[in-house]
Amino acid sequence: MTKTVSRRDFLKLGAASVGALAIGQMLPPKVARAAWDNGALNADGDGHISTMCEMCVWRCGLIAKVVKGRVVKLDGNPDHPHSRGNLCPRGQSGLMNTYDPDRVLTPLIRAGKRGEGIFRPATWEEALDLVANKILEIKGKYGAEAMVFSSTHNLSQPLFENLLYAFGSPNYGTQRSLCFNAMIVANTMTYGMEEPARIYDDKLKYILLTGRNLLEAISTSETHDLIMAIDRGAKVVYLDPRYTKTASKATEWLPVKPGNDLAFHLALLNVIVGENLYNRSFVEKNTIGFDELKKEVHRYTPEWAAPLTGIPAETISRIAHEFAQAAPHALAHNGWRTSNFINSFHTQRAITILNALVGNWNVVLQDAGGEESGTLGAPSQPAYPRISALRLDGVPWKYPVVPFKIGVFQELRDNIVSGDPYQAHGWFISRQNPVMSLPDRGKTLKAFEKLDFIVTMDIILNDTAWFSDVILPEASYLERYDPLVPIGDKVFIRQPVIEPQGDAKSALWVYKQLGERLGIGDFFQYADEEDYLRQQLAPTGISLEEIKAKGYAELREAPHAGESAELNWNTPSGKIELFSETLAKVGFPGVPTWEEPPQPAEDQFYLLTGKVAQSTQFGTQNNQLLHKYSDEPRLWMNSKTAENLGLANEDWVEVTSSVGQIHTRLLVTQAIRPDCVYMTPGYGHLSKGLKTAFGIGAADSAVHVTYTDPISGGQALSQTFVTVKKV
Amino acid sequence: MKLNLTIQPRFRLNFSPLVWVLLILMGIAFVTAMIRYIFGIGAISDLSYSYPWGFWISFDLFTGVVISSGGFLMAGSVYILGIKEFQPLLRPSVLTAFLGYIMVAIALLVDLGHPERIWYMMIHWNGTSVLLEIGICVMSYLTVLAIEFAPVAFEGFKLQKWAHLIHKYIMPFVILGVVLSTLHQSSLGSLLLIQPAKLHPLWWTPVLPIMFFTSAISVGLAMIILESSLSSRYFQRGLETHLLEKLAKAIPVVLAIYLVLKFGELAFAGDLHYLFTSGGFSILFWAEILIGAVAPIIWFSVRGNRKSANGLLAGAIILLLGMILNRFNVSWFAVRHPDPMFYMPAFMSNVHYMPTLPEISVSLGIFAAGILAFGLAAKYLPVFEEEHDPKAPSFGD
Amino acid sequence: MTEIKHHAYLFDATRCIDCRACMVACSVENNIEMDKTRIWVAGVGIKGEYPELQRGTMVYHCMHCDHPDCMSACPVGAYTKAEDGPVTYNPDLCIGCRYCMNACPFGVPHFDYDKGIIEGAFIDKCTFCPQRIYNGQEPACVQTCPTDALEYGDREELIARAHARIADHPGRYIDHVYGEKENGGTSYLIISHIPFGELGLPNLPATPVNEVSEKVMEITIPFALGWGAILTGVAAGVNLYNKKKEKTAVEEKAEKSK
Ligand SMILES: Nc1nc2c(c(=O)[nH]1)N[C@H]1C(S)=C(S)[C@@H](COP(=O)(O)OP(=O)(O)OC[C@H]3O[C@@H](n4cnc5c(=O)[nH]c(N)nc54)[C@H](O)[C@@H]3O)O[C@H]1N2
Ligand SMILES: Nc1nc2c(c(=O)[nH]1)N[C@H]1C(S)=C(S)[C@@H](COP(=O)(O)OP(=O)(O)OC[C@H]3O[C@@H](n4cnc5c(=O)[nH]c(N)nc54)[C@H](O)[C@@H]3O)O[C@H]1N2
Ligand code: SF4
Ligand code: SF4
Ligand code: SF4
Ligand code: SF4
Ligand code: SF4
Ligand SMILES: [Mo]
């Protein structure tokens, strides 16, 4: 990207935007004093403080270097299992999110028309009173369910959930249906757990990645694991229509035809079952439904899959053999953002079953998510009121197997627009950017038009905030406490390393304030943030001081799992369900079944999306440090295709789908299938409050068509077909 | 056109059109230089990460120094070799050199990032740096030239005593001047020795300093011819054709040595295959060899060309063009700087270099100042002595 | 960490995922301006034709040469080579001539073209993070690298590690440790699966590129003295000869007039 953001260094930038801080430096700030008490900071406010990254959901451990009350460098915490001393580029750049000159540092109330971006600053008193009054007014007029709440996974989410469930609304939107619903539901249906662990031990020999671009969509420790496994000589087979950086490190890259991964995996099952390559004793002991599976996959021969996937039958067959041979030291990775096609659920089931069939112990036996495990305490709170209203997102009345806390976000949005089964009137959004992250941006904005009141809690004027009525500025992750989080046998802390700038406040504080104003203060029984953390630690006997000093503490009873554990699956049958009764009962195929994905017309392309290492979703493009090292976002197109269309590198093109049209520049590359185009998500922002990011690139969300996988509720992000022409 | 610097009463400026042009060029250069000092070199030039040196270094430094080589040639011939008959050519050559080096110095003050620190070179010495040697030589030589030229100035201001005093002790300075010139004329070639990986093998050779020195001699000879010819035309005075003819006779000899060295070295280094296989580089190479050496050898070997004023001038111009191309080649055209290959931040992305108009205007302005200064000196100081005037003071008395 | 006698890095191109965390880390650690950098990605990017593709990128910063050409070239001695590795630059001496940029065969130093004389235009390049390595930390770029494509340690040890890795993975690497010998040895060592030239590394001999110019500089003063002596001799000789000739002429004249 050639645009020069600013000549000034970012420390100065931060200082320029935060006059208050300079004055605050006269007295040791509160946080600095607390850290000083701990020996983490000296009298001048210099030192190192341990905390946790929040640039993405992986939450690596950090050690923040603080000089005179300003954070100047973040390093990975070597003791943290997610960072091991390393940080990805986003983690490295985190302090620039905090010192972003575009930070919102005081509550804002809309003063112009929606979307005009005219706001006036307000006090927290005024803003919170206004929010509470509006919400209560909506409840009074239309019932609590007319308030929609949505938030993307974060550490204060339990308190956010308190807010809505205690208030009485069933309408909870999370990012999950845009992200990993297919994977989560498939694992739940098969193993009774959301996400099995993936252990990259020394013995791991074979890794099958289906669209998991682990070397760009980074999770620091797992990315490290993968590279080290490759270093040790593990074979990596990678399916992706694009030649990503992961593809470049894989032993074998298979440019599969989008949506047809299912055919590939069904054919693997066919070979493994048909040629008796599976682990018979494991299957007999631990699974049910093998016969149903065998009957179904019988027809999915490699020869059948070859034309669908574009992968030769011999290759498929060979991979099946290699995979089975490498088992149990093999891993078929589910992927993470598995929201690709309406058949993605079946793909996920097939992958999950693949691991079970060959008895990949390291994969199927351990739960990956330990974050919400109940080893910690919590403030006491009353039971939630019973909520009788239907959920707007169709769970479970339309999506019977989608878990409640997962939901179907895009459907929620659609039903705000349709007013069916009832009309929503307000939306509280925290730590989320649905204007960008939901498909069909035009429709999301239409949903906004239907609403009387929208409030957003964020740290910058993201696109959603831009269209909101009230914006509540949260303290950034370097400025606040969040609830403690246990990972494995340790518990980790996020603690402020600098004073919050301006008027920014922690979510723990904001939710409590709102709770009290909404008459549900009982659900927020903590005096302040530290008190909340102390109540969490109460059952463990660990002191807050200890954990603050080190950044983490060992939990006395480590939740353990592993081969020794008595095999007991949290499914209705207590076994791994190759055939799922649950699915069958609600009318879905009980075993993975071929479902033809739709195909683009002659002149259309699959529009692919996928992360780049230098940004997270839709919220970090304004980070100047990341912007500095980002490539210009352009529409990827295969060189041959471009030649046929008479398009050249850097040409401006018009990309059109059935719901929208965008203009962007072309990147002609060898690194993509000829029938696909690709766009980096997170550009084409609408908010002019993002001075660095505004005006760069285009938004794939503006052309994404909304399709929902009927089983998992996952959005089908690769199922949008577009035409491309020169402008 | 005639230089007319008479200032009329009531402060009416009445310059000739040429002077106006020169003054305007100087004005533009001044303003451009101010912009550069305030906003940085990037504000006016296309210099970049890939091209730290460009037009200024090739033109102002490399060309500027080599075309000032007439001074030490004439001083050396007249004083050291005692070839008294060249005396009429001495003063203009020394003046040209003096002004030439002042122009180089001024240009460097624009090109240097920290012009105010140029004197650091006098106190912080890094003995392995060729640039240090050049810096010191140029500064010292400028002083020597000032001393060599001082008598002319003193005479102009009717301070004959002072002029005589300097004449008396001139010899050590002349020797020093020749040594310094030898050193830095050749060291400009040494400057590029550190770029074996960047400078194209058709040019890079460990004997670059010798190549530079040899070619500097030919250029010096040509420059004396050029400047005598031009000034004789301009000031409408007689041309010392018989003297110039002698210089012209030496040129083919010097250039022949140059060619032997050049091709001998290429053969020795086993680089002959580059002669025809390097695309644009081959073309540049042959252009400089043909124009700067082969053509002048042929031209000046023809007696008629040496005898005629026009012939001398034409030959000198051809040689100069070729050799200036050589200086541009070694310092710019044939230097291959790093290319960003995959991803580089914006400031590294400028891999192509094209001197900007402001950049050229600075050089032009300084050049204009040089011409104006030469004109003033020629008009007001006894630069052109009458050849047969025995009473005219000369350095050697 | 074992004792480090000669600080060095090892870069393994087969591990680098071009994530640029190292670059962000360097920018933060060293407070680099938003439009500058000391470290960048070079290489061919993607090569080949769909679907037979290969990727080659590498992280580029100062090589901390054992015989630094920047240092050799700088007229005012603004560069220093520490005995234990790092090559550093002192802005207080720099006159801004940019000769170091020409001299460095790796194109490492860069200059503030956007600064006037009041703000001060300087050279910048990777320093090896002395503020970190002399305080027991790894350089910022190394520490953050999520794939350990960048490693840091003692040069001898890293060279051994590099050779061991090549030997342990037959066919994966080009059998060469770039920087072990190049330009007289560098502190940045590189192993790769694609030719080093495609990573943007110049093909350099084991003799430092400054060798010839340093030799020439060595003989400069003796040459100058010698040349001066010769010229003095010639001048004296010519003078003598001329005087003699004049004298003979005068004598001849006198003789004639007798
Ligand atoms: N740098 C960075 N890292 C991140 C994130 C981030 O925003 N930035 N986000 C985090 C989050 S929330 C998530 S969910 C994960 C997501 O991580 P991943 O699961 O790796 O998801 P994506 O990068 O969205 O998409 C991966 C690849 O899927 C390919 N693809 C598209 N359609 C198909 C298809 O039909 N079949 C196959 N086989 N491939 C297809 C795309 O080309 C893309 O390369 O990353 C996490 N890590
Ligand atoms: N086209 C397209 N759509 C996608 C995807 C894709 O690859 N392409 N990926 C999908 C996936 S995998 C996911 S997980 C979703 C994510 O979808 P979202 O969660 O909606 O998107 P994010 O950009 O992660 O939103 C995070 C918001 O939190 C704000 N924020 C950052 N830090 C803080 C903080 O400390 N406090 C508060 N209150 N706010 C903060 C950011 O400014 C940003 O606005 O998007 C999905 N949608
Ligand atoms: S993966 Fe990167 S962004 Fe995510 S938590 Fe770790 S360092 Fe932060
Ligand atoms: S790489 Fe260049 S800048 Fe670095 S030490 Fe070597 S010569 Fe100097
Ligand atoms: S620019 Fe500065 S550091 Fe570089 S050679 Fe010149 S004086 Fe030395
Ligand atoms: S060693 Fe330090 S200065 Fe050099 S590139 Fe790495 S982080 Fe930057
Ligand atoms: S941090 Fe490591 S993997 Fe990422 S670009 Fe730098 S060297 Fe490569
Ligand atoms: Mo996600």
**What is the per-residue pLDDT across A169-214, written as a single tens digit (0 to 9) for each?**
999 999 999 999 999 999 999 999 998 888 899 999 999 999 999 9
Note whether B346 contacts A: Cβ–Cβ < 8 A.
Answer: yes
Q: Residues C174, C214: one domain?
A: no
Q: What is the mean pLDDT of residues B253-258?
A: 97
In this structure, is residue B14 part of a structural domain?
no
A497-535 confidence digits (pLDDT tens): 998 999 999 999 999 999 999 999 999 999 999 999 999
- pLDDT beyond 90 at B49: no
From CA C87, how far away is CA C82, in angstroms rounded? 6
Range with lowest mean pLDDT among A561-570, B153-162, B304-313, C121-130: A561-570
Q: Distance, CA A488 to ligand 6 centroid (Å)?
A: 34
Burial of B5 (0-12, 13-18, 19+ CB in 10 A): middle
Task: List pLDDT tens digits, range C31-67.
Answer: 998 888 999 998 888 999 999 999 999 999 999 999 9
Overall average pLDDT of the B280-304 stretch: 95
Residue with more model confidence, A564 or A464? A464
Same-domain pairing of C148 and C253: no
Q: Is residue C2 part of a domain?
A: no
Beta bridge partners of A110: A119
Residue B101 domain flag: yes
pLDDT of residue A270: 98
Tell me if A54 CB under 6 Å of ligand 2. yes
- Residues B348 and B358 reside in one and the same domain: no
The closest residue, in CA terms, to atom 11 on ligand 2 is A179
Residue B6 belongs to some domain of the structure = no
Q: Is the CB of C81 under 6 A from ligand 4?
A: no
Q: What is the mean pLDDT of residues A457-486?
A: 96
Q: What is the mean pLDDT of residues B355-360?
A: 96
Least confident of A260-274, A325-339, A563-577, C227-241: A563-577
pLDDT at B347: 65
Residues B232 and B340 in one domain: yes
Q: Does C219 share its domain with C203? A: no
Assess whether pLDDT exceeds 80 at residue A31.
no
Least confident of A2-6, A229-233, C155-159: A2-6
Q: Please report the pLDDT score of residue A33 as a whole number.
A: 59
Q: Which of A625, A659, A666 is nearest to A643 (CA)?
A: A666
* Alpha-carbon span A461 to A110, nearest angstrom: 12
Q: Looking at this protein, which amino acid is placed at residue B305?
A: N
Tell me what pLDDT residue A567 has.
Answer: 64
Q: Which domain holds residue B171?
A: 24-38+51-194+354-397
Indicate if the alpha-carbon torsion angle C238, C241, C244, C250 is positive or negative: negative
Residue span(s) of chain A under CATH 3.40.228.10 come to: 197-366
C243 assigned to some structural domain: yes
pLDDT band, residue B345 (cuts 50/70/90): low
Same domain, B387 and B262: no
Q: Tell me, which fold does domain A605-726 have in CATH? A: Barwin-like endoglucanases (2.40.40)
Sequence ranges of chain A with CATH classification 2.40.40.20: 605-726
Query: Within this chain, do residues B232 and B127 fall inside the same structural domain, yes or no?
Result: no
| pLDDT tops 60 at residue A16 | no
Count of alpha carbons within 13 angstroms of residue B371, beta-carbon side: 19
State whether residue C167 sits within 8 Å of chain A by CB: no
What is the reported pLDDT for A41?
A: 78
**pLDDT, tens digit, 9 for 90 and up, residues C121-154:** 999 999 999 999 999 999 999 999 999 999 999 9
Assess whether C189 and C239 both reside in one domain: no
Whether the per-residue pLDDT at A438 is higher than 90: the answer is: yes
Kindly indicate the confidence band of residue A104, based on its pLDDT and cuts at 50, 70 and 90: very high
Nearest CA to ligand 2 atom 4: A437
Does residue C1 lie within any of the structural domains?
no
- C142 & C235 share domain: no
- Whether C237 is covered by a domain: the verdict is yes
Bond prior to A421 in cis (omega within 30° of 0): yes
B76 and B128 assigned to the same domain = yes
Q: Would you call B114 an interface residue with chain C, using a CB distance cutoff of 8 Å?
A: yes
pLDDT tens, residue by residue, B184-243: 999 999 999 999 989 999 999 999 999 999 999 999 999 999 988 888 887 777 778 888
Cβ–Cβ below 8 Å for C73 and B194: yes
Which residue would you say has higher pLDDT here, A375 or A636? A636
Distance CA B260, CA B280 (A): 23
Q: Of the candidates C189, C209, C229, which is a domain's last residue?
A: C209
**Contact indicator for A505, A535 with CB cutoff of 8 Å:** no
- Judged against a pLDDT cut of 50, whether residue B30 lies above it is answered with yes
Task: Report yes or no on C214 lying in a domain.
Answer: yes
Asked whether the predicted pLDDT for residue A5 surpasses 50, the reply is: no
Chain centre to alpha carbon of residue C73? 9
- Looking up residue C173, the CATH number of its domain turns out to be 3.30.70.20
Residue with the larger pLDDT of the pair B153 and A696: A696
pLDDT of B9: 44
Same domain for B342 and B232: yes
Start-end of H helices in C5-55:
21-29
Whether residue B273 sits in one domain with residue B176:
no
| Segment among A617-621, B75-79, C77-81 with least mean pLDDT | B75-79
- φ/ψ of C175, rounded to 5, equals -80, 75
Query: Residue B390: which pLDDT band, with cuts at 50, 70 and 90?
Result: very low
Is there a domain that residue C58 lies in?
A: yes
Helices (H), A56-123: 89-92, 94-98
B175 with B84, same domain? yes
Q: Do B208 and B74 share a structural domain?
A: no
Residue C103 token pair: 């001299």
Same domain flag for C190 and C245? no
- The pLDDT tens digits for A118-168 are 999 999 999 999 999 999 999 999 999 999 999 999 999 999 999 999 999
Strands (E), A470-599: 470-473, 482-487, 490-494, 552-554, 576-577
Residue C228 and residue C201 in one domain: no
Mean residue pLDDT of chain B comes to 88
Nearest residue to A459 (alpha-carbon basis) of A100, A60, A713, A720: A100
Number of domains in chain C: 2
Same domain, yes or no: C216 and C201: no
What percent of chain C is helix, strand and coil (3-state, nearest 5)?
Answer: 35, 20, 45
Same structural domain, C141 and C96: yes
Distance from CA of C91 to the nearest CA of B (A): 10
pLDDT at position A6 over 70: no
> Are residues B186 and B219 located together in one domain of the fold?
no
pTM of the model: 0.93
Q: Say if residue C50 is in the same domain as residue C111.
A: yes
CATH of the domain spanning A197-366, picked from 3.40.50.880, 1.20.20.10, 3.40.228.10, 3.30.9.10:
3.40.228.10
Cβ contacts of C45 on chain B, cutoff 8 Å: 341-343
CA B215/CA B252 separation, integer angstroms = 11
What average pLDDT does the segment C197-201 reach?
91
Q: What is the pLDDT of residue C250?
A: 78
Q: Is the pLDDT of residue A450 over 80?
A: yes
Mean pLDDT of A349-378: 77
Predicted local distance difference test score (pLDDT) of residue C246? 79
What's the mean pLDDT when you consider all of chain A?
Answer: 91
For residue A391, CA distances in Å to A136, A263, A422, A424, A448 come to 19, 34, 10, 11, 18
Compute the distance between CA of residue C243 and CA of residue C53 in angstroms, rounded to an integer.
83
CB within 8 Å: C53 and A671: yes
Residues C105 and C140 in one domain: yes
Share of residues in chain A with pLDDT > 70 (%): 91
Strands of A470-473's sheet in order across = A119-121, A108-110, A470-473, A453-458, A426-430, A147-151, A172-173
Residue to mutate among C18, C20, C46, with most A CBs inside 10 A, is: C20
Whether residue A17 has pLDDT greater than 50: no
| Domain interval for residue C243 | 210-258
| Residue-level pLDDT at B1 | 44
Identify whether the C-beta of residue A237 lies closer than 8 Å to the C-beta of residue C9.
no
Give the pLDDT score at A2: 35
Task: Give the residue, B391 or B31, on which the prediction is more confident.
Answer: B31
Between CA A125 and CA A655 the distance in angstroms is 46
> What is the mean pLDDT of the segment spanning B77-86?
88
CB of C42 within 6 A of ligand 5: the answer is no
* pLDDT tens for each residue of A380-426: 999 999 999 999 999 999 999 999 889 999 999 999 999 999 999 99
Lowest mean pLDDT among A92-96, A543-547, A663-667, B346-350: B346-350
According to the model, what pLDDT value does residue B25 have? 96
Which pLDDT value is given to residue A9?
38
Ligand 6 centroid distance, CA of B40 (Å): 26
> Atom 4 (ligand 3): residue with closest C-alpha?
A56
The residue written with tokens 């194109």 in the block is C107
Exposed e or buried b for every residue in A193-223, given b needs 16+ CB within 10 A?
bbbbbbbbeeebbbbbbbbbbbbbbbbbbbb
Does the structure show a pLDDT above 70 at A593? yes
- Asked whether residue A361 carries a pLDDT value surpassing 80, the answer given is no
Please report whether residue C227 resides in a domain: yes
Specify whether B211 is located in the same domain as B275.
yes
- Per the structure, how many domains does chain B have? 2
Does residue B175 lie in a domain region?
yes
Residues 6+ apart with CB under 8 A from C230: none
Q: How far is C131 from chain A (nearest CA, A)?
A: 13
Any CB–CB contact under 8 A between A7 and chain B? no
Q: Are residues C107 and C145 in the same domain?
A: yes
- Residue A65 in contact with partner chain B when CB distance is under 8 A: no
Q: Whose CA is nearest to atom 6 of ligand 6?
A: C141
Report pLDDT for C1: 53
Cis upstream peptide for A379 (omega within 30°): no
% of chain A beyond a pLDDT of 90: 85
Q: Are residues B289 and B362 in the same domain?
A: no
